[in-house]
Amino acid sequence: MSEQNRGKAKKRGVVMQVEDIQICVVMVGLPARGKSLIAQKAQRYLRWLSVDANVFNVGNYRRDANPQPTADFFDTSNAEGERMRRAAAEAAVTDMLKWFKGGGTVGILDATNSTKERRRWIKERCDAEGIETLYVESKCDDEDLIMSNILEVKTTSPDYVGQDPETAAQDFRKRIRNYEKVYQTIDEDENDLTYVKIMNVGKQVIINRIQDYLQSRVVYYLMNLHIKPRSIWLSRHGESQYNETGQIGGDAELSANGEMYSRKLPKMVRDSVGDDRPLTVWTSTLKRTISTAKHLPKEYNQLQWKALDELDAGVCDGLTYAEIEEQYPEDFKARDDDKYNYRYRGGESYRDVVIRLEPIIMELERSEDILIITHQAVLRCIYAYFMKKSQEDSPWMAVPLHTLIKLTPRAYGTEEQRYKANIPAVSTWRSKGSVAKHEDAPPDDAQSI
């Protein structure tokens, strides 16, 4: 921890908190090594855990002056290209340091940062402001993975919008060769740096000089990442008998409509996957999710997670919202005022659910081909993680019954597709202040699960 931050803590006379530490995470690596995807994932993970994090992508600053350069722009013999790229890096670092002064906690500098000179310059700038630096180098010599990144990721980069994919891929290969001429991996000359080196998508991880809790949390998360293209499928359980009566919580059986959804789900999954590869299915331990999964093919391995159980409503379990408003009017209002942090008497808050879901997120990040069948509040938290939804908005998002959601993480965001079963179900969404199960139902095209 920097002397500046130690001073802040001593003046307050309190035990050190995560927010007292500020870290610049410096991405390092050749193009097509998954740096931007890692940066975006780290940002959304930290924000999901209530840590203020922001990505500063040097490429975005460079695009202000040169939006679609050819590979020759990145040749070190191109003096004008070198000047413009240096200016972009300086602008990004300057903006990041201003953001830190405004109270930011983790700034992620997304660039190749190819040379020891550039990395040392960043450290000196951060040291002068009392900001810790953590270098994250993504290295890969797996040609299949590199080509996959070139074709799957970089041909959708803003640098190649509207261009022929094969032409773009050829230009990007040339860009990589230009970077290879000057690239210097982190080695023993930089042993004073705090760094983590991720080799071939996590097959080997090297860690050096990790200093505090927040750095450890970031590194632990990075150790569980893979950057191979994949999708995750999400679904609520089929409509339950409690859904029909407007009661919350419980361990009810499926309704007749819910049973219809469980029978239709296997075809919906196969159609969305696009082939016959089996998925691993995660459900909660409650009957309505297990029953929803029961007609999926036998080759689908099914696992039950207690962590995926619905938000615990405590003394309100089994009540309708109208009954909660009548019996606990102060609690009903308090939950509407701050739904993310409100904790049911004897139960949980959305913040509590996020904490218990962290191991699920870790396992999800290192897994492939997962279908999760769970509950409304839990799905809201998982969806918020992938789609970078705010804590204020996530508890109010509409998560319709009888809908399969396919999420595909990309370097520049997460793609979403929805598949509706067209099987009737009640709306369990409510707006602030409402009590009836059908009241204020959102439109079908609401982008708010």
The pLDDT of residue 142 is 86
Query: What are the tokens at 250?
Result: 């419980």
pLDDT recorded at residue 4:
44
Token digits for 407?
């999420």
DSSP string, 242-305: HHHHTB-SS-PPB-HHHHHHHHHHHHHHHHHH-S-PPPEEEE-SSHHHHHHTTTS-TTSEEEE-
Can you tell me the distance from the alpha carbon of 124 to that of 120, in angstroms, rounded to the nearest whole number? 6
Max CA pair span of the chain: 75
Q: How far apart are CA 295 and CA 266, in angstroms?
A: 7
User: What value does the CA radius of gyration of the chain take, rounded to a whole number of Å?
Assistant: 24
pLDDT tens, position by position, 156-210: 788 998 988 889 989 999 999 999 999 999 999 999 999 999 998 778 999 999 9
Provide the whole-model pTM.
Answer: 0.88
pLDDT tens by residue, 196-234: 999 987 789 999 999 899 999 999 999 988 777 789 999
Whether pLDDT at 38 is above 60: yes
**Residue ranges for the binding site for substrate?**
236-243, 288
Helix (H/G/I), strand (E/B), else coil: 380 = helix
Helix, strand, coil share (%) of the chain residues, nearest 5 = 45, 15, 40
The tens digit of pLDDT for each residue in 361-405 reads 999 998 989 999 999 999 999 999 999 999 999 999 999 999 999
Alpha-carbon span 400 to 236, nearest angstrom: 8
Q: Report the pLDDT value the prediction gives residue 432, as an integer from 0 to 100.
A: 86
Residue 153: the pLDDT is: 61
For each of the domains in the chain, give its residue range(s) and CATH number, in order of start.
21-223 (3.40.50.300), 232-420 (3.40.50.1240)
H or E element, residue 31: none
Residue 253's Cβ-side half-sphere holds a number of Cα atoms within 13 Å equal to: 4
Over 70: is that where the pLDDT of 16 sits?
A: no
Percent of the chain with pLDDT over 90: 80
Band (pLDDT 50/70/90 cuts) for residue 146 is: confident
CA distance 429 to 396: 8
Catalytic residue list contains 310: yes
Q: Which residues are annotated as a binding site?
A: 236-243, 288
Annotate 55-78 with b (16+ C-beta within 10 A) or e (fewer). bbbbbebbbeeeeebebebbbeee
Mark 308-330 as b/e (b = at least 16 C-beta within 10 Å): bbbbbbeebbebbbebbbeebee
Q: What is the pLDDT of residues 308-333, one digit of tens each?
A: 999 999 999 999 999 999 999 999 99
For residue 154, pLDDT beyond 80: no
Using the structure block, give the residue that is written with the tokens 């080196």. 197
Name every residue whose Cβ is closer than 8 Å to that of residue 395 and which is 6 or more positions away in sequence: 339, 340, 350, 377, 380
pLDDT at residue 3, as a whole number? 44
Q: How much of the chain, in percent, has pLDDT values that exceed 70?
A: 92
Report how far residue 141's alpha carbon sits from residue 152's, in angstroms, rounded to the nearest whole number.
Answer: 17
Contact 428, 243 (CB under 8 A): yes
Distance in angstroms (rounded) separating the CA atoms of residues 114 and 178: 11
With bands split at pLDDT 50, 70 and 90, how would you rate the model's confidence at 12? very low
User: CA 417, 388, 105: angle at the middle one, nearest 5?
Assistant: 160
Answer whether residue 436 shows pLDDT above 70.
Answer: no
Confidence of residue 439 (pLDDT cuts 50, 70, 90): very low
> What confidence tier does 145 reach under pLDDT thresholds 50, 70, 90?
confident
310, 348, 365, 402: the catalytic one is 310
Report the alpha-carbon distance of residue 166 to residue 421 in Å, rounded: 37
Give the active site residue among 137, 237, 259, 348: 237
Tell me what pLDDT residue 250 has: 97
